[in-house]
Amino acid sequence: MTQKRKFPLSLGRVQPPASAAKPVLRPQRPLAEAERDRVRAQSPSGLGLDSEQVRARMVERLRRDGLADARVVAALMAVPRHAFVDSALVQQAYEDTSLPIGLGQTISKPSVVARMLELMLAVQPPGTRPRVLEIGTGCGYQAAVIAQFARSVVSIERLKPLHDKARANLAAVPHSNMRLVYGDGRLGHAPNAPYDGIVSAAGGADLPATWLDQLAVGGRLVAPMADARGAGQVLVVVDRLDDGSLRRSIHEAVRFVPLESGLG
């Protein structure tokens, strides 16, 4: 049932779904855990990291786990994830793992990137090219994936060293439909609004009203948000309906870095 709500949006009265009991998706892991995995990891046998076969193997694993949107499949195949990973960690580039990228941040697991983008695209008819706003550029990998199917993508990063790193990484990946912005992600980016899709790589206790104001009719926002029980985060999906009202749904448990204000 459609409900009109005031925002910022709070989950205080939302009942956690049964799916919250599922294993938590962890796009950002403790760095020590990632380092232990790196030491144990072995490079793909007999294949260079720039081989399409390596990426195909990663994507096939995601398809077996439920990834079905052909646009996301093609985008993941097109983007060389190893180009966005620090050289000491490239052997793990095509494993389903998060990896440190500096400043206490990580590149999200491919499975988490795939899940969030598939949710965002679920309301976009095949063949359409949405305008997308990404909150939290990080190393630029997800922005590069989005650029494969979007008409345009605006990606905001509040940490200047990461903004600069993403710009350098993306210089090697062809794209003409992307704008990288150094700014406060909580403010969104009004000059290019409205957006058909908004996806955030950080979560807080609320969804900023600016994001919702910048969501187009027929558009969908996907973001992590504090669980109503005070235990971690869940994925929240918000749709702007034809009459301008907002409809919210709650999905699986996740773990992202905190959503912070200001520039760093």
pLDDT in tens, 191-209: 999 999 999 998 888 899 9
> pLDDT digits over 128-182, tens only?
999 999 999 999 999 999 999 999 999 999 999 999 999 999 998 878 899 999 9
Q: Which of 98, 108, 111, 155 is catalytic?
A: 108
Residue 155 annotated in active site: no
Q: Domains (ranges, CATH) in the chain? A: 19-258 (3.40.50.150)
For residue 15 the two structure tokens come to 């009942």
- The span from the CA of 225 to the CA of 57, in Å, is 31
Report the length, in residues, of the chain: 264
Question: Which of these, 112, 126, 125, 187, lies nearest to 154 by C-alpha position?
Answer: 187
pLDDT at 246: 97
| pTM beyond cutoff 0.85 | no
For residue 197 the two structure tokens come to 């899709």
Query: Over 60: is that where the pLDDT of 12 sits?
Result: no
